[in-house]
Every structure is written in structure tokens, then in C-alpha cells.
Amino acid sequence: MASNDELSVSQEDLVEAWKRTLPERLAPGDTAEVFANGADPRAFHVHIKTQGRQMMEFDFAVQYVDSREIDIQLKDVERDGQTVDERPEPIQELIGDYRRHLHETAQALHHFTHM
């Protein structure tokens, strides 16, 4: 998909910006790690750990479509190191919350990615 609105930020700078900005959008106690995707300079992985009784972990693949829009793919949901079914409603609600936080982070970084 060609666009005249290409992302012009290096992957290293992008990952660092996400590492600083995403935790500000998560619930208190939740943690996030952001890792570069070696195969695609516009993409990275986000690993989120929930706080509290659930002790769940979520893995997302995030890719910039252009300098403002991101595509988010859920890769895995785990509890105690075991993959779990993500279809139950409480897990779907958490996935929706985290997807929203990822979009909010992308919006907060518009000034950085959309030059």
C-alpha cells in the first residue's frame, strides 16, 4: 500500500518513544515491554502483563500503516505461562482495553511520527 504519508522515524527511535509513552496509558500496576521487529522497520512487538489476581500476559504485533495509523494483531494470551483461550468475555474486554491503549499511544506520538 503506497502512501505519501510514510513513517519516517527509525525503528529504534520509535521503539524508545513507545517504551516511554505506553506505560502512561496502562492501568496502575500493568507493565509493558516493547521490542523491535527485526523483519519490518515499521513494526514492533508489545508484551503487556496485567496486575492483580489474573496475572495475565498479552502479546501484540503492532505495525504502522502510515505515519499516523497502526494495525494491531493479537498474538498470544497467557496465564501462568500457559496459552489461554482468548474468547471468554472478560479476556475480550481486556484485549479491547489494551488495543485502545495502543491506539492512544499512537495518537500521543503523532507529533513524533507525523512530521
How far apart, in whole angstroms, are the C-alpha atoms of residue 65 and residue 107?
13
For 49, the domain range is 11-109
In a domain, 63, yes or no: yes
How confident is the model over 20-72, as pLDDT tens digits? 999 999 999 999 999 999 999 999 999 999 987 678 999 999 999 988 899 99
Q: Is residue 5 part of a domain?
A: no
Contact 61, 36 (CB under 8 A): no
3-state secondary structure at position 102: helix
In the chain, % of residues over pLDDT 90: 77
Q: Is 79 among the domain residues?
A: yes
CATH number of 102's domain: 3.30.310
Domain count, the chain: 1
Residue type, 65: V
DSSP 24: G
Q: Which of 9, 29, 39, 37 is nearest to 106 (CA)?
A: 9
pLDDT value, residue 61? 98
Q: Using the predicted structure, report yes or no on whether residue 3 has a pLDDT greater than 70.
A: no
Q: Is residue 15 within 8 Å of 34, Cβ to Cβ? A: yes
Q: What is the pLDDT of residue 17?
A: 96
Does residue 3 form part of some domain?
A: no
Tell me the average pLDDT across 12-19: 96
Give the pLDDT score at 2.
Answer: 40
Residue 2 lies in a domain: no
The answer, as to whether pTM is greater than 0.85, is yes
Position 1 pLDDT exceeds 70? no
